[in-house]
Amino acid sequence: MGKKLALERIIHNQGFGARKLCRLMIWNQEVTVNGQVCDDPDAEFDLEKLHYTVKGEPWDYREQSYLMMHKPSHYECSHKTQHHPTIYSLLPQPLVLRDVQCIGRLDEDTTGLILISDDGQFIHRMSSPKHKVPKVYEVTCKHPVSDAQISHLCQGVQLIDEDAPIAALSCTRINEHVLHMTLAEGKYHQVKRMVAAISNRVDALKRIQIGELVLPADLAPGQWRWLSETDMKHLGALPA
């Protein structure tokens, strides 16, 4: 048998509101556990492979949250937005109440793969510069990109306010306007500034890979899903 917790505490920990509200929902028979209605807030359950519903919506018990999202354009990666909706409005409210955070922000006009979690160690592991987790961006440029410009990006370009040139880990031309650029840093507007430094301009920017985790083709803009064990291995967060 694994760890056990009272149902009220389980529902509260999973982001369904204050303890008093959780107790009330259980009394009102709005919670089922492993297919059975439970109206006793103090009933204890084994957390391993615990399936429950709240007001008819199915959930699995998760000690911590690990998500991926296909960020759409015109959404901001902030709880306090200025001009556009927040990406957190695309998540179920219980996850927002668990205080999940996006790992590395994408600009409002940048789309693609973003990770979201409430695990501080995981957030640090994925975002800290010292770990140098590579990220691949699909960059659509306004003007055709020459071999010399690609070489310049890989050798390093000098950006304003930076002490030393910054280089892409790799840069592959998909067609004359589209590049796949791999970076291990996440400086402010880095891709756009690097492309500007080669006398070009970014028309569209999409993050397509973090570590070995590729943005799934079936994950549409605005959709999210839980990270699987395989996904976590691709991110280097679990042993291979």
We report the CATH number of the domain holding residue 204 as: 3.30.70.1560
Q: How far apart are alpha carbons 223 and 132 in whole angstroms?
A: 27
At 128 the pLDDT is 84
Cα dihedral across residues 196, 199, 202, 205: positive or negative: negative
Same domain flag for 206 and 88: no
* Structural domain harbouring 175: 134-210
Q: Does residue 240 lie in a domain region?
A: no
Tally of domains within the chain: 3
Residue 105 in contact with residue 78, Cβ under 8 Å?
yes
Same domain flag for 145 and 195: yes
Q: Is 131 helix (H, G, I), strand (E, B) or coil?
A: helix
At 81 the pLDDT is 75
Same domain flag for 91 and 156: no
- CB-based contacts of 7, cutoff 8 Å, min separation 6: 26, 31, 33, 38, 40, 41, 42, 43, 44, 45
Amino acid of residue 171? C
Same domain flag for 204 and 147: yes
At 239 the pLDDT is 58
Q: How far apart are alpha carbons 131 and 72 in whole angstroms?
A: 27
Q: Does residue 41 lie in a domain region?
A: yes
End-of-domain residue from the set 38, 60, 82: 60
End-of-domain residue from the set 15, 41, 60: 60
Active site residue 99: no
Same domain flag for 100 and 163: no
Same domain flag for 200 and 224: no
Q: Catalytic one among 107, 109, 119, 203? A: 107
Same domain flag for 120 and 217: yes
Per-residue pLDDT in tens (0 to 9) along the chain, 240 residues: 578 999 999 999 999 999 999 999 999 999 999 999 999 999 999 998 899 999 999 999 999 999 999 999 999 998 887 788 999 999 999 999 999 999 988 999 999 999 999 999 999 999 887 888 999 999 999 999 999 999 999 999 888 888 888 999 999 999 999 999 999 887 778 899 999 999 999 999 999 999 999 999 999 999 999 999 999 999 987 655
Q: Does residue 239 lie in a domain region?
A: no
Same domain flag for 109 and 154: no
Q: Does residue 52 lie in a domain region?
A: yes
Nearest CA to 116 out of 234, 217, 233, 223 is that of 223
Q: How far apart are alpha carbons 148 and 136 in whole angstroms?
A: 20
At 1 the pLDDT is 59
